[in-house]
C-alpha cells in the first residue's frame, strides 16, 4: 500500500506520487482525502479561497493563514474522532503575487497541522506541487 511508504505526519512535494493513487490509498485506509487544484489562483487570497472552496470550509472562514490552521485542526478535531488525512495541494502558484515566502508560509500552516495531528496520533500527510 502506498501510504505505508510515507511517514504518517509530513508535508512534502508530490514528486513521483500520482493524485489518483493517493486518493485510492486514502480511501483504502478510510482516511479523509482533501484535494485542491490551485492552477487558477495567482495570489495568497486566491489560494486561500480555492482551498476553502475545495475543502468545503464553513462560510465564516476568515481567508487568512490563522483561519486555515484553525479549520485544519481545532474545527475538525472538535467534530469527533478522525481517521487521518491525505491532503493534496496541486499547482501552487509561483509568481510575484505568490512568491517563495508566501508559499513557505502556507506550507508552514500545513506543517503545523501535521504536528497538531501527530500529537494526537492521527496521520496527516500533505503533498504539494508547483505550477
Domains and CATH numbers, the chain: 8-125 (3.30.370.10)
d(C-alpha 110, C-alpha 107), whole Å: 5
pLDDT tens, position by position, 87-109:
999 999 999 999 999 999 999 99
d(C-alpha 22, C-alpha 1), whole Å: 10
* pLDDT surpassing 80 at residue 1: no
d(C-alpha 80, C-alpha 84), whole Å: 12
Task: Identify the residue with better confidence: 131 or 13.
Answer: 13
Q: Are 92 and 29 in contact (CB under 8 A)?
A: no
pLDDT tens, position by position, 43-92:
999 999 999 999 999 888 999 999 999 999 988 878 888 999 999 999 99
d(C-alpha 87, C-alpha 32), whole Å: 8
Strands of the chain, DSSP E: 9-13, 32-37, 85-92, 124-130
pLDDT tens, position by position, 27-48:
999 999 999 999 999 999 999 9
* pLDDT surpassing 70 at residue 5: yes
Amino acid at each position: 500500500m502506498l501510504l505505508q511508504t510515507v511517514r504518517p505526519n509530513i508535508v512534502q512535494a508530490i514528486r513521483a506520487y500520482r493524485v489518483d493513487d493517493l486518493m485510492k490509498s486514502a480511501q483504502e485506509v478510510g482516511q479523509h482525502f482533501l484535494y485542491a487544484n490551485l492552477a487558477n489562483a495567482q495570489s495568497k487570497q486566491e489560494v486561500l479561497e480555492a482551498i476553502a472552496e475545495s475543502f468545503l470550509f464553513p462560510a465564516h472562514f476568515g481567508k487568512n493563514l490563522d483561519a486555515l490552521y484553525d479549520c485544519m485542526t481545532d474545527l475538525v478535531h472538535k467534530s469527533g474522532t478522525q481517521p487521518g488525512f491525505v491532503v493534496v495541494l496541486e499547482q501552487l502558484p509561483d509568481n510575484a503575487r505568490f512568491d517563495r515566502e508566501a508559499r513557505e508560509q502556507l506550507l508552514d500552516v500545513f506543517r503545523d497541522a501535521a504536528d497538531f495531528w501527530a500529537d494526537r496520533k492521527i496521520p496527516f500527510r500533505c503533498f504539494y506541487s508547483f505550477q
